[in-house]
Amino acid sequence: RYGKLKGSNAIYFFNDEIHFGGRSWEVKTNEIEEILFFVKAGVLDKAMQSIEKMFQDLEKSKAFSVERARLVSAQFVSTLINSLAEMGVIIDNNLSFDISPYKRIFELDSLPDMQQTLLELTEKVTSQVTRARSKKTNNIIHEVKEFIQQEMHIPEMSLSYVSNKFHMNSSYFSRIFKQDIGISFTDYLLKCRMEKAVKLLNETDWKAYQIAEKVGIKDPFYFSNCFKKVMGVSVQE
């Protein structure tokens, strides 16, 4: 029994201090949910620590048995798969998410092996979730950039305006936009407006106030100041 608790690659003697702990134990749903939270957030180190703690608690309990550990591990895998399905994350084939994780768990007969299996699985899944979120973010940012080009003539265009259009929290949208583009949304919008203004100055004979309206700026004096700030020269120049 102690060999299954500690792993089979060791020798134990009668006079070793061997004990299994003295308290009962049962896995709590919120413990698994906490691990899944870290997986969804892409915080791998926290997810790993939570798994290790779960197994440490099981090791110290008087309720330890290989069968109990298998059931806990299977419950974790099942909850993980269901959670990914709810997120709409498509699993890579190389994760072997068919019967393989369950089959492997029920073939193992020691706690360290089961823990290692869940750690490896969690690492792969967290990486997959991070890639999926990154791809989704890139798609959203691409759509936002196209939206700005098409609708920059709207004076109300702003961070909150666009985040509402794309059904996102404005703080979250601001963060992912700056991470992807490298500058804030406000600076990017202003840059796009001034680039469009330069294009219109070169291709039309419109007055400055007309161009200002076409790029979504009502106040011609503010437009002139913004143009000089971004382009380094005045509209007249």
Give CA–CA dist 27/48, Å, rounded. Answer: 16
Q: What is the dihedral of CA 200, 220, 154, 171, to 10 degrees?
A: 110
Compute the average pLDDT of residues 6-14. 68
First to last CA, the chain: 85
Phi, then psi, of 9 in degrees rounded to 5: -90, 50
Supply the pLDDT for residue 23.
Answer: 45
How many Å separate Cα 131 from the centre of its chain?
8
* CA–CA distances in Å: residue 201 to residues 146, 157, 205, 212: 22, 22, 7, 11
What are the start-end ranges of the H helices in 88-110? 100-107
Return the pLDDT at 90.
63
**Per the structure block, which two tokens stand in for 49?**
């620590």
pLDDT, one tens digit per residue, over 154-169 is 999 999 999 999 988 8
Q: Which residues, other chains included, contact 132 with Cβ-Cβ below 8 Å and sequence gap of 6+?
A: 87, 89, 90
pTM above 0.75, yes or no: no
Asked if the model's pLDDT at residue 26 lies above 60, the reply is no
Question: Tokens at residue 15, please?
Answer: 């006079």
pLDDT number for residue 200? 94
Q: Are 77 and 105 in contact (CB under 8 A)?
A: yes
Burial of 172 (0-12, 13-18, 19+ CB in 10 A): exposed
Residue 48: its H or E element: helix 44-60
At residue 203, the 3 state secondary structure works out as helix
Q: Whole-number mean pLDDT of the chain?
A: 83
The span from the CA of 120 to the CA of 105, in Å, is 12
Query: Distances in Å between the alpha carbon of 128 and those of 79, 101, 125, 201?
Result: 16, 16, 5, 47
CA–CA dist 27, 15 (Å, integer): 32
**Residue 212 pLDDT > 50:** yes
- Give me the phi and psi of 17, to 5 degrees please: -80, 100
